Chain A
């Protein structure tokens, strides 16, 4: 069964302490992998789309990378405003369905 697994479930970092969030997937035929950010009480906000292994995308303190089996969201020198739940999702080729992981709750302490 196709799955998207995110780790860790929760992560607490000090401001300025860089780290990475992991998204591993088992999907036969990946059409795209997405990262979203979700703040409490709000809908997810799109961050990145990655299409093929080796691809990287950056936005401010965030950098997303993709391999054949997993994706990483690297957070460099995070600030308290980066605190949120980060969601990973994949769209599979055979039926275009999108499967979400359960997310990583990130808390940045000032």
Chain B
């Protein structure tokens, strides 16, 4: 069974640009969550989608947004990039929103110059 895939794996952008990251969950999984991981703050929850609806949202500014498609694939977008947005962005999937175990992808390493 294929795991969670994230594309691209690495990305370099400059301040002010926008970026879109993609996540394909494990087949059959309908819940997708996004996290930002930095050395200083650790893993911080961004948002969770289930059946194309945002179910939960973390404490991030409105520049961070996401969506989920009917095939459960998800994208997250960050507009007007800031230096502090440099981080590893992780996507996790699970069969349902009430299922506790999450399966993480390898992440997208975003560097903002």
Contacts and interface: CB of A to CB of B under 8 A. Distances in A.
Interface of A: 31-32, 34, 36, 41-46, 49, 87, 89, 91, 95-103
Select the residue from A32, A44, A87 with max chain B CB neighbours within 10 A: A44
A41 B41 CA distance: 17
A42 B106 contact: yes
Contacts of A41: 106
B104 A44 contact: yes
16 contacts: A34-B102, A41-B106, A43-B4, A43-B105, A44-B90, A87-B42, A96-B48, A96-B97, A98-B45, A98-B102, A99-B45, A100-B42, A100-B44, A101-B42, A102-B41, A102-B42
B104 A43 contact: yes
Interface of B: 4, 33, 35, 41-45, 48, 55-56, 58, 90, 92, 97-98, 100-107
Contacts of A87: 42-43
Contacts of B97: 96
Contacts of A34: 100-102
A45 B104 contact: yes
Contacts of A45: 104
A41 B100 CA distance: 24
